[in-house]
C-alpha cells in the first residue's frame, strides 16, 4: 500500500482538529498543523524517504515523535492516535469542520455548550436560532452556517484538486509502465486538460498482443485499489482508497490518437470537431476517422485534427472557447511553457511563516535555473503568520542585501506581501514601500464584504503607486472557500489603467487568477505574474500548476512578466 503525502497531511490535520476541539495544548495542535502543511507541500513523496531510511527529523517542524507517526501511517495506512481521538469524541465532528463558517474552536463551542455533534443537529439548532445565542457567534455566523449547509450536498460530490490527483496519476502510470508488453500510457480526461479539479482518471494504454490479460490483472491488483467495479479484457474500472475512480482502457495502435482525442475531451470540444468532420463527409469516433467504412486516420491526434481541417490543438485549450476557430484560421497562441519562467515573485521564508531560510530558498531556486526570486514576507496585519512591521521590513531588506553580496547565480528581490486593509489602504507606509523592489498586495481579512465594497477596496489599493502586483485576486480556496464577491472585469480595467500586474497564484487550492480571466486580462493588455506563494523550497514546484492554468487561459510568454530577464522585469515593475 502506497500512502501519498496528501493522506499523511489529512491525517495530521484531523488529529489537530480533534485535539483543538478536545482542548489539548495549543502548541501540540500547532505542531500537527505545521507538519500537515509541510508534508503536503513536499515535492517528493514521504513513502520514498521512509523506504530510503532518510532521517525525517532533518525537516524543520518534524521531531522524533512526528517522524515515528509518519512511518506508522506509511506502514499501516492509518494512525492509532487518530483512532483514539475518534473514540473519545464523536467522529461526526469532523463533518462539521467541512463547513467554511466553522473552525475547530467554533465546533468545540457548539459541541460542548449545545451537545451538537452532527450535521442534522447543527441544522436544527441553526434554524431554531440557538447558534446565534452562543458567545462569539451571532446572527451573521448562524446565517453563514445555514448557507453553507445548503451547499453541502454539492460539496459531498466534489472533485479532487488537480495537485492531489498528480501523485496518484504518477503512481498509477509508473505501475502500468512496469508491466510486460506495455508500449504507451497516457492519463487523459480533465486531468490531461489541466482542469483545476478532477472527477476521475481515464488511462489509455497500448500493448503488445497477448499481454492484455496480465496488464488488466496488474491494474485491478494495484495496491491502492479499494473496490473493483469492472474487470474486462480491454477495460477495467476501480475505486482507489481516496475514493477516486480510475478507468483503464487498452486501445489498438491504429486508434490511439483518436481514442486520446475522444477521452481527453472536453465533450463540447469533441462535438465541435465531429461537426466539422461531418461537413467534410467524415465520421470521427474513438476508433478513428472514417470515410464511409474506411479508416483514414486515427493513430495520432495531429492526423485526427488535420482531417477535420484543423491545426493540432493543445489539450489545455480544448473547452470549445474559441480554439476551433483559431485552429481553422492559424491563430492558435504559442502557449507559455515552464521553461520560459525565469523567476518566482511570491515566496515566504522563516522570517514570516515559511519553512526554509533565505539561503535555502535561494539555493533551491538556483537549482531550478532561476535568475531571480522575490522574497515577499507577510506584513504586520497578518500577525498569526509572523507579519513584519516597518522596522522589521528594513532589517529584512538589509539581510537580503547581505545575502545578495555573497550569492552568485541568482538575485533576491526585496519584496513584501502587503495586506489590503478594509478601507483600501496598504498595511505599510509609502516611506517603506518605496524602498522595496516590488509589492504583492493581497486581501486576507474581511473577505465577505459586498461586491461593490470589495471591488472599490481593491481598486483603491491599486491607486497606491507602490502596488505592483495584485495577489490571488479572488482569494478562493478550491473545494473549501468560495471566491470573494468582486467585479473582476472592473478590476482588470483598473489594473490596465494603473499598470498593475495581476498574479496567477500556483498554490494547488488557489490557481487564482482563474484561466478564463487570465485570457480576459491578456486581451486587455494586462500583464500577469505566475507565482507559487511558496512557503517551503518544495513549494517551488507549484510553478507547474500555475503554468498549466496559464496555458488554459491562452497565455503566451509575452503575457507573463516573470519570463523577462531581470533588467527588463525591474523596468516592467515600474508603474506608469
pTM (2 d.p.): 0.84
* 140 and 40 inside one domain: yes
The per-residue pLDDT for 3 is 83
423: exposed, middle or buried (Cβ count in 10 Å: 0-12, 13-18, 19+):
exposed
* 406 and 537 inside one domain: yes
Distance CA 569, CA 571 (A): 5
Which residue from 257, 412, 434, 250 is spatially nearest to 347, judged by alpha carbons? 412
The per-residue pLDDT for 158 is 65
Which residue from 413, 425, 416 is spatially nearest to 392, judged by alpha carbons? 416
CB 359 within 8 A of CB 532: no
Highest mean pLDDT (candidates 78-87, 117-126, 458-467): 458-467
* 140 and 165 inside one domain: no
CATH code of residue 215 = 3.30.460.10
- E strand or H helix that includes residue 572: helix 566-573
* 235 and 287 inside one domain: no
* 261 and 232 inside one domain: no
Half-sphere exposure of 504 (CA within 13 A, CB side): 32
Give the residue numbers spanning the domain of 174: 160-250
- Domain membership flag for residue 32: yes
* 433 and 399 inside one domain: yes
CB 475 within 8 A of CB 447: yes
Please check the confidence at residue 179 and state whether its pLDDT lies above 60: yes
- Domain membership flag for residue 129: yes
Which residues, in sequence order, are bridge partners of residue 376?
415
- Tell which of 111, 128, 156 closes a domain: 156
Decide: helix, strand or coil at residue 153.
helix
415: cell is 519584496
List phi, psi (to 5°) of 511: 45, 60
- Tell which of 122, 156, 190 closes a domain: 156
Distance CA 421, CA 380 (A): 11
- Domain membership flag for residue 396: yes
CB 143 within 8 A of CB 100: no
DSSP 130-147: TTTTSTTTHHHHHHHHHH
Distance of CA 129 to the CA centre of its chain: 37
* 152 and 176 inside one domain: no
CATH code of residue 268 = 3.30.210.10
Q: Detail the DSSP E strand segments found in 313-437.
A: 343-347, 372-378, 411-419
CB 361 within 8 A of CB 400: no
CATH code of residue 92 = 1.10.150.110
The per-residue pLDDT for 571 is 95
CATH code of residue 399 = 3.20.20.140
pLDDT in tens, 318-351: 999 999 999 999 999 999 999 999 999 999 999 9
Which residue from 211, 213, 295 is spatially nearest to 257, judged by alpha carbons? 295
Residue 316 is classified by DSSP as G
- Tell which of 109, 124, 156 closes a domain: 156
* 181 and 299 inside one domain: no
Which residue from 166, 164, 211, 204 is spatially nearest to 187, judged by alpha carbons? 204
Residue with the bigger pLDDT between 3 and 395: it is 395
Distance of CA 145 to the CA centre of its chain: 26
551: cell is 496555458
Residue 102 binned pLDDT confidence (cut-offs 50, 70, 90): confident
Residue 40 binned pLDDT confidence (cut-offs 50, 70, 90): confident
- Domain membership flag for residue 372: yes
pLDDT in tens, 58-79: 888 899 999 999 999 998 888 9
Percent of the chain with pLDDT over 70: 98
Q: Is the dihedral of CA 5, 8, 12, 13 positive or negative?
A: positive
The per-residue pLDDT for 41 is 80
- Domain membership flag for residue 489: yes
- Domain membership flag for residue 333: no
Q: Where are the alpha helices (DSSP H) in 152-238?
A: 152-156, 162-177, 189-193, 212-220
∠ CA(301), CA(307), CA(309), 5° rounding?
105
Q: Could you count the other beta carbons within 10 Å of the beta carbon of residue 350?
A: 17
Domain tally, the chain: 4
* 35 and 121 inside one domain: yes
Please check the confidence at residue 156 and state whether its pLDDT lies above 80: no
The per-residue pLDDT for 80 is 93
Distance CA 218, CA 42 (A): 29
Please check the confidence at residue 153 and state whether its pLDDT lies above 60: no
SS (H, E, C) 503-563: EEECCCCCCECCHHHHHHHHHCCCCEEEECCECCCHHHHHHHHHHHHHHHCCCEHHHEHHH
Distance CA 172, CA 245 (A): 12
* 369 and 512 inside one domain: yes
The per-residue pLDDT for 500 is 97
Exposure b/e, 445-458, CB count within 10 A at least 16 = b: eebebeeeebbbbb
pLDDT in tens, 506-550: 999 999 999 999 999 999 999 999 999 999 999 999 999 999 999
- Domain membership flag for residue 239: yes
Distance CA 227, CA 203 (A): 17
* 446 and 554 inside one domain: yes
Residue 438 binned pLDDT confidence (cut-offs 50, 70, 90): very high
Average pLDDT over residues 107-113: 90
* 446 and 348 inside one domain: yes
- Domain membership flag for residue 525: yes
Which residue from 508, 436, 520, 438 is spatially nearest to 472, judged by alpha carbons? 508
Residue 395 binned pLDDT confidence (cut-offs 50, 70, 90): very high
Amino acid at each position: 500500500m502506497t500512502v501519498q503525502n496528501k493522506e499523511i497531511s489529512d491525517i495530521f490535520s484531523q488529529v489537530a482538529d480533534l485535539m483543538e476541539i478536545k482542548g489539548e495544548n495549543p502548541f501540540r495542535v500547532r505542531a500537527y498543523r505545521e507538519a500537515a502543511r509541510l508534508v503536503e507541500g513536499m515535492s517528493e513523496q514521504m513513502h520514498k524517504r521512509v523506504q530510503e531510511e532518510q532521517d525525517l527529523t532533518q525537516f524543520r517542524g518534524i521531531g522524533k515523535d512526528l517522524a515515528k507517526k509518519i512511518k506508522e501511517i506509511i506502514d499501516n495506512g492509518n494512525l492509532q492516535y487518530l483512532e483514539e481521538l475518534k473514540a473519545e469524541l464523536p467522529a461526526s465532528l469532523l463533518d462539521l469542520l467541512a463547513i467554511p463558517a466553522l473552525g475547530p474552536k467554533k465546533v468545540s463551542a457548539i459541541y460542548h455548550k449545545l451537545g451538537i455533534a452532527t450535521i442534522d443537529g447543527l441544522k436544527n439548532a441553526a434554524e431554531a436560532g440557538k447558534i446565534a445565542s452562543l458567545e462569539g457567534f451571532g446572527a451573521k455566523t448562524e446565517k453563514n452556517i445555514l448557507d453553507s449547509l445548503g451547499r453541502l450536498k454539492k460539496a459531498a460530490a466534489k472533485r479532487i484538486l488537480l495537485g492531489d490527483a498528480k501523485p496518484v496519476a504518477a503512481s498509477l502510470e509508473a505501475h502500468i509502465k512496469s508491466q510486460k508488453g506495455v508500449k504507451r500510457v497516457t492519463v487523459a480526461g480533465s486531468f490531461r486538460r489541466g482542469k483545476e479539479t478532477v472527477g476521475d482518471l481515464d488511462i489509455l494504454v497500448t500493448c503488445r498482443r497477448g499481454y492484455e490479460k496480465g496488464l488488466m490483472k496488474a491494474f485491478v491488483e494495484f495496491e491502492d485499489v479499494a473496490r473493483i467495479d469492472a474487470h474486462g479484457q480491454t477495460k477495467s474500472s476501480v475505486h482507489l482508497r481516496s475514493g477516486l475512480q480510475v478507468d483503464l482502457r487498452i486501445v489498438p495502435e491504429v486508434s490511439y490518437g483518436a481514442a486520446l482525442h475522444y477521452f481527453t475531451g472536453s465533450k463540447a470540444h469533441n462535438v465541435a470537431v465531429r461537426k466539422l468532420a461531418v461537413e467534410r463527409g467524415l465520421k470521427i469516433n474513438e476508433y478513428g476517422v472514417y470515410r464511409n467504412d474506411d479508416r483514414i486516420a486515427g493513430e495520432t491526434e495531429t492526423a485526427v485534427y488535420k482531417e477535420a481541417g484543423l491545426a493540432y490543438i493543445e489539450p489545455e485549450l480544448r473547452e470549445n472557447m474559441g480554439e476551433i476557430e483559431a485552429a481553422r484560421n492559424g491563430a492558435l497562441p504559442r502557449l507559455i511553457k515552464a521553461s520560459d519562467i525565469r523567476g518566482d515573485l511570491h515566496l515566504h521564508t522563516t522570517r514570516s511563516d515559511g519553512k526554509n531560510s533565505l539561503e535555502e530558498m535561494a539555493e533551491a531556486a538556483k537549482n531550478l535555473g532561476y535568475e531571480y526570486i522575490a522574497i515577499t514576507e507577510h506584513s504586520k496585519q497578518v500577525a498569526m503568520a509572523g507579519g513584519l512591521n516597518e522596522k522589521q521590513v528594513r532589517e529584512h531588506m538589509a539581510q537580503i542585501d547581505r545575502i545578495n553580496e555573497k550569492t552568485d547565480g541568482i538575485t533576491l528581490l526585496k519584496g513584501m506581501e502587503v495586506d489590503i486593509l478594509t478601507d483600501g489602504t496598504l498595511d505599510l507606509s509609502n516611506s517603506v514601500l518605496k524602498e522595496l523592489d516590488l509589492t504583492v498586495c493581497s486581501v486576507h481579512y474581511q473577505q465577505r464584504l459586498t461586491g461593490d465594497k470589495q471591488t472599490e477596496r481593491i481598486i483603491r489599493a491599486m491607486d497606491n503607486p507602490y502596488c505592483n502586483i495584485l495577489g490571488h485576486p479572488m482569494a478562493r480556496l478550491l473545494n473549501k472557500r468560495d471566491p470573494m464577491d468582486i467585479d473582476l472585469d472592473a478590476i482588470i480595467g483598473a489594473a490596465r489603467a494603473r499598470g498593475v500586474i495581476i498574479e496567477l497564484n500556483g498554490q494547488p487550492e488557489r490557481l487564482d487568477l482563474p484561466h478564463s480571466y487570465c485570457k480576459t486580462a491578456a486581451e486587455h493588455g494586462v500583464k500577469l505574474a505566475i507565482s507559487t506563494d511558496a512557503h517551503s523550497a518544495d513549494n517551488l514546484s507549484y510553478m507547474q500548476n500555475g503554468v498549466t492554468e496559464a496555458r488554459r487561459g491562452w497565455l503566451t510568454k509575452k503575457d507573463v512578466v516573470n519570463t523577462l530577464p531581470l533588467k527588463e522585469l525591474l523596468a516592467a515593475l515600474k508603474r506608469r
